[in-house]
Structure 1
Amino acid sequence: MKPELIDRSTHLSRSFNIDEHCYPHFLKVWHYHPEIELISIVNSSGTKFIGDGIKKFQPDDLILIGENVPHLWLNDPVYFQGSSELEAKALVIHFDRNFAGADFFQMPEMRALNDLLNRARHGIEFHGEIKAEIKRRLREMLQMDDFERVMALINVLKLLSATEEYEKLCSPGFINAFQKGENKRMDNVYEYIVNNFKDEISLNEIAGLTNMNKSSFCRYFRKIHNKTLTLYINEFRVGYACKLLLEEQLNISEICFESGFKNISNFNRQFKEITGLSPRNYKKKYATII
């Protein structure tokens, strides 16, 4: 199923909104929106779908989701029982990337915050002590006036930009686009991969885009991404395959070739190594849920 666009424009009476949501269960809709979302789970459990990243969620989880990244918070089955008295509660901020002005995050002083928002396009889950600190600050923001909230949000983003205790949840291939800005030297490489991942990838051409020889480029790429170029491309292709599997428009054989794999056996092997499931089991487990 394709994700549903949720229009929050009628809810944005300010430059950004912060709310404490409390429902019997979270909205059971695979959706996206142009606003960036910061969510601190207060009391709830289930499975979170952030792009093609699928993990359990629980109280105290802290997630930053970039603009237009499809996502779903699916509560455990007990939340949907008629006799359930459980609550799904979360502190949530929705804000436009340009809430402080079109060029605000382009200032040199805001470089770290801009990098954070770029990383959020893959979905970020934070770990460690920062989760409790951010939850405390979000609660305080509920009682602030408009000016104080703007300053508080910038400070929250500053804290998040400084921590190294996080993981990205969504693979680049899921949305079939690389985001520029994290490493300008590699922009041409990312653009080449996104335009050619369905075909044979030429290491010579990729290395040439950075004016390096093949050996130097491979070392440089591994230093940046902590993985080989081959694994990176396979993860991109598998991420794109996950997107197609969830949309249920093509059969598995068609998805194999549409994602850049040349034969089914290699597709199945790479898919299972990266996701832990075969394509068929992935589709069976998740497509019907979304």
Structure 2
Amino acid sequence: MKLHLTDRSSKLNSSFTARLNRFPHFLKLWHYHSELELILIVKSKGTKFIGDSVLKFDEGEVLLLGENLPHMFFNEEEYFSQNSNLIAEAIVIHFKKEFLKCIPEMNHISKLFERANHGIHFIKPRDEIIAAFKKILDLNNDFEKTLLFIQLLNSLAGQKDYKLLVSIGFSNTFVKDEVGKLDKVYQYIFNNFNKPISLKNVADIANMNESAFSRLFKKINKKPFSKYLNEIRIGYACKLLIENKYNIASICFESGYNNLSNFNRQFKSITSFSPSEYLKKHINI
């Protein structure tokens, strides 16, 4: 499964975009983008894959995803039936993290954006939040629409009942050094994580020797390259387990491991569960 970089930037010289997505099913695309994504699931249900988190989603959910956080919303099989009349519908707002950054009075909202790096699921969002999502689509006045969006963010920043979706150990922030040396490395990792990848492979892509690359990667990502790669692979393995289409041995190889004992060891180290325990825990969610 390739991770795709998508463009969610505004084509209208606007600080944010808001649209209604309404399709027979959501796009089955494991992707990321530099914009934050605020979502209201209006209609639909299925499984959401956000970083290393694999959970069910349902109507009425409100989520905020940080910049460059990989995600995919996969509808249940009934949505793909040839005779299905089901509709997947969501209101989606995209914006850059710099939005409101230079306004001190909005510091609480900036902190909300920081939490979004781990993906936020707002539990039982208030009626005013749901209403604001829907009203934003109806407003034609850009000034009024922007004010309403700020009010929506303010309400979300004040909501205390929420859940962070992505584990602390999983970091896909795509933090860049000052000259962007690792851009191509990240792309290579996400396109090839289920194949053999050596430290030399990625160091060569960055045009660095292995020691220098290791120091830079750890400085930027706060973890060694090997741990970063294992987290990506285990996140993908979690997705395959929840789909329940492959046995654990097959998932081991599909995720980039050639040794089942190493796969089991890395899986438990990252998730605190064995693959079979993880499957039992999530299959009935």
The question of a shared fold, defined as TM-score above 0.5 by the shorter chain, is answered with yes
User: SS of the residue aligned with 1:19?
Assistant: strand
Cα separation, partners in 2 of 1:252 and 1:105, compared to 1, 3 Å: farther
Q: Which residue of structure 2 lines up, in the alignment, with residue 14 of structure 1?
A: 14
Q: Which residue of structure 2 lines up, in the alignment, with residue 218 of structure 1?
A: none
Cα separation, partners in 2 of 1:255 and 1:97, compared to 1, 3 Å: farther
The equivalent position to 2:151 in structure 1, one of 152, 155, 175, is 155
The equivalent position to 2:136 in structure 1, one of 141, 156, 173, is 141
Q: 1:167 Cα shift?
A: 0.7
Q: Which amino acid aligns with 1:277?
A: P
Cα separation, partners in 2 of 1:105 and 1:46, compared to 1, 3 Å: same
Q: Which residue of structure 2 lines up, in the alignment, with residue 214 of structure 1?
A: none
The equivalent position to 2:256 in structure 1, one of 227, 241, 250, is 250
Q: 1:197 Cα shift?
A: 8.4
Q: Which residue of structure 1 lines up, in the alignment, with residue 66 of structure 2?
A: 66
Q: Which amino acid aligns with 2:272?
A: E
Q: Which residue of structure 2 lines up, in the alignment, with residue 215 of structure 1?
A: none
Q: 1:248 Cα shift?
A: 4.5
Q: 1:195 Cα shift?
A: 3.3
Q: Could you tell me whether the CA contact under 8 Å between 2:32 and 2:69 is conserved in 1?
A: yes
Q: 1:95 Cα shift?
A: 1.1
RMSD: 3.4
| 1:194 matched to 2:218 | no
Q: Which residue of structure 2 lines up, in the alignment, with residue 107 of structure 1?
A: 103
Q: Which residue of structure 1 lines up, in the alignment, with residue 94 of structure 2?
A: 94
Q: 1:146 Cα shift?
A: 0.5
The CA distance in 1 between the partners of 2:147 and 2:37, in whole Å, is: 17
Aligned residues: 224
Q: 1:56 Cα shift?
A: 0.4
| 1:79 matched to 2:79 | yes
TM-score by length of 1: 0.66
Q: 1:129 Cα shift?
A: 4.0
The aligned runs of 1:235-274 (5 Å cut-off) are 239-243=231-235, 245=237, 248=254, 250-251=256-257, 253=259, 256=262, 266-267=265-266, 269-271=268-270, 273-274=272-273
User: SS of the residue aligned with 2:272?
Assistant: helix
The CA distance in 2 between the partners of 1:240 and 1:255, in whole Å, is: 18
Cα separation, partners in 2 of 1:193 and 1:83, compared to 1, 3 Å: closer
**1:127-166: per-residue Cα shift (whole Å, max 9, x none)?**
0242x32121111111221111111111111111111111
Unmatched segments (≥5 aa) in structure 2: 176-217, 240-252
Q: Which amino acid aligns with 2:80?
A: F
Q: 1:268 Cα shift?
A: 5.1
The CA distance in 2 between the partners of 1:87 and 1:244, in whole Å, is: 27
The CA distance in 2 between the partners of 1:167 and 1:13, in whole Å, is: 33
Identity, % of aligned pairs? Answer: 36
Q: Could you tell me whether the CA contact under 8 Å between 1:271 and 1:279 is conserved in 2?
A: no
Cα separation, partners in 2 of 1:8 and 1:84, compared to 1, 3 Å: same
